[in-house]
Amino acid sequence: LGIAYKEMGLVDEAVAEFELAVLHGSGGPRAPDCMLMLGICEAERGNTAEAVKRFQAGLGLPGLAIEPRKALYFELGTAFETLQRRSEAIEQYQAVERVDPKYRDVQARITRLGGTIRTQASQPPRQQAPRTTPSSVPKAAAKATAPPPAAGGAPTAPQQPAPGGKTEASTDASAEAARKARKIGFV
């Protein structure tokens, strides 16, 4: 509901809904998204200092996943930029760039502010991928490459790649993920 209000330009109502969600969500999985949206709404209302507090509170949540962390750092950098706190803005953007150099226009922002772009290769990995055992690899590969059976158990033809080498299913999934990200204000 908060997202709908924000999209309609009803920022005060959106803030009330996001605050309600945080209050009753007890720090659940949507808490980082709510803190992000609260900060964005505060920035939109011209309360940049309050936006900074919201973004920092979101970054302080336990068990914060990578995607919300990147969005919170990025928006915090934007807020610091608005407050003319250039070095702090660069720090936030560099935190994003270390994890995902292609995130939005983070590298352009770092460069514009006079910061140094770091490459992902020069940084130690932040999270290691889960290890797979040799016996689990063939099973996973077989599941990934085998087409699902059609109704009645007959095999189906493999999906034809769309332009760019992606299947229709992966293209649809990418489009859906992008739509959801735009909907909650990540893009």
Q: What is the mean pLDDT of residues 18-39?
A: 90
pLDDT of 182: 52
Residues with Cβ within 8 Å of residue 99, at least 6 apart in sequence: 66, 69, 70, 120, 126
Pick from 26-30, 64-68, 91-95, 174-178: least confident:
174-178
How many other CB atoms are there within 10 angstroms of residue 79's CB atom? 27
Highest mean pLDDT among 11-25, 43-57, 124-138, 164-178: 43-57
pLDDT of 181: 52
> Among 92, 88, 22, which residue's Cα sits nearest to residue 58?
22
pLDDT of 156: 46
Given pLDDT bands bounded at 50, 70 and 90, which one contains residue 178?
Answer: low
pLDDT tens for 126-159 read 444 444 444 444 444 444 444 444 444 444 444 4
Alpha helices in the chain (DSSP H): 2-7, 11-25, 31-44, 48-59, 66-82, 86-99, 106-112, 136-145, 168-183
Q: Is 28 left (phi over 0), alpha (psi -120 to 50) or beta?
A: beta
pLDDT tens for 83-97 read 999 999 999 999 999
Q: Is the distance from CB of 93 to CB of 74 less than 8 angstroms?
A: yes
Q: Is the distance from CB of 44 to CB of 83 less than 8 angstroms?
A: no
Residues with Cβ within 8 Å of residue 143, at least 6 apart in sequence: none
pLDDT of 176: 57
pLDDT tens for 99-120 read 999 999 999 999 999 999 886 4
pLDDT tens for 60-88 read 999 999 999 999 999 999 999 999 999 99
**134 to 43, 139, 144, 145: CA distances (angstroms):** 50, 10, 16, 17
Q: How far apart are the first and last CA of the chain?
A: 19
pLDDT of 70: 98
